[in-house]
Amino acid sequence: MRRTFEEVNKKISEKKAVVVTAEEVIERVKKDGKEKVLEEVDVVTTATFGSMCSSGAFINTGHFAPKMRIQKAWLNGVQAYAGIAAVDLFIGATELRENDPLNSSYPGNFSYGGGHVIEDLVAGKEVEMNAVSYGTDCYPCKELSKKISLKNLRNAVLCNPRNAYQNYNVAVNKSKKTIYTYMGKLLPNLGNANYSSAGQLSPLLNDPLYEVIGIGTRVWLAGAQGHVFWQGTQHAPDAERTPNSVPKEGAGTLALVGNLKEMNSRYIRGTSFTGYGASMALGIGVPIPLLNERVLDFVSVSNSEIFAPVIDYSSDYPSANEKSLASVSYAELRSGEIEVCGKKISTGSLSSYSMAREIASLLKQDIEEGKFLLAEAVQKLPSASNQKKPGSEKDA
Partner 1 sequence: MPNPSKKIILYFPSEFVERPLTNEIIQKFGLIVNIFSASISSDERGFLGIELSGNADKISEAVDFIKSQGIEVKPLGSRISRDEKKCVNCGVCISICPVNAIYQKDFEIFFDSEKCIACGSCIESCPFKAIFSGE
- Residue positions annotated with a catalytic role: 138
**How many CB atoms are closer than 10 A to CB 369?**
11
CB of 376 within 8 A of CB of 4?
no
- Rounded CA gap, 304 and 160, in Å? 30
Residue 163's SS3 state is strand
Q: How far is the CB of 317 from partner 1 (least distance, A)?
A: 18
C-alpha distances out from residue 18 to 8, 9, 22, 233, Å? 9, 11, 13, 34
- Closer to partner 1 by CB, 60 or 109: give it: 109
Q: What is the CA radius of gyration of the chain?
A: 22
Q: By C-beta, is 49 or 58 nearer to partner 1? A: 49
CB of 30 to partner 1, least distance (A): 20
Pick 237 or 277: Cβ nearer partner 1: 277
User: What secondary structure does DSSP assign to 257-306, as a single string?
Assistant: EEEGGG--TTSEEEEEETTTEEEEEEEEEEEEE--SHHHHHHHT--GGG-
Provide the minimum distance between the beta carbon of 218 and partner 1 in the complex, in angstroms, as a whole number: 24
Q: How far is CA 156 from the centre of its chain?
A: 19
Least distance to partner 1 from the beta carbon of 282, Å?
A: 11
- C-alpha distances (whole Å) from 112 to each of 101, 107, 128 are 11, 15, 14
With residue 312 as reference, give the H or E element that holds it: strand 307-312
Task: Please provide the size of the chain in residues.
Answer: 396
Which is nearer to partner 1, 61 or 351 (by Cβ)?
A: 351
CB nearer to partner 1: pick between 250 and 275: 275
Minimum distance from residue 74 beta carbon to partner 1 (Å): 22
* Closest distance of CB 173 from partner 1, Å: 11
Q: Which of 106, 151, 103, 160 is nearest to 126 (CA)?
A: 151
- Smaller CB separation from partner 1, 273 or 317: 273
Sites of contact with partner 1 (CB under 8 A): 49-51, 107, 109, 111, 176-178, 184-185, 187-189, 191-194, 269, 271-274, 279, 281, 336-337, 344-355, 357
Closest contact distance (angstroms) between CB of 129 and partner 1 is 24
Q: Sign of dihedral through CA atoms 109, 249, 227, 224?
A: negative
**245 or 329: whose CB is closer to partner 1?**
329
Q: Distance (Å, rounded) from C-alpha 110 to C-alpha 59? A: 23
Distance CA 194, CA 348 (A): 5
CA distance 339 to 345: 6
CA 45 distance to own-chain centroid = 16
Identify whether the C-beta of residue 53 lies closer than 8 Å to the C-beta of residue 76: no
3-state secondary structure of 331: helix
3-state secondary structure of 94: coil
Considering the complex, state which of residue 139 and residue 273 has its C-beta at the smaller distance from partner 1. Answer: 273
- Give residue 24's region: left, alpha or beta (phi > 0; psi -120 to 50): alpha
Q: Least CB distance from residue 387 to partner 1, whole Å?
A: 32
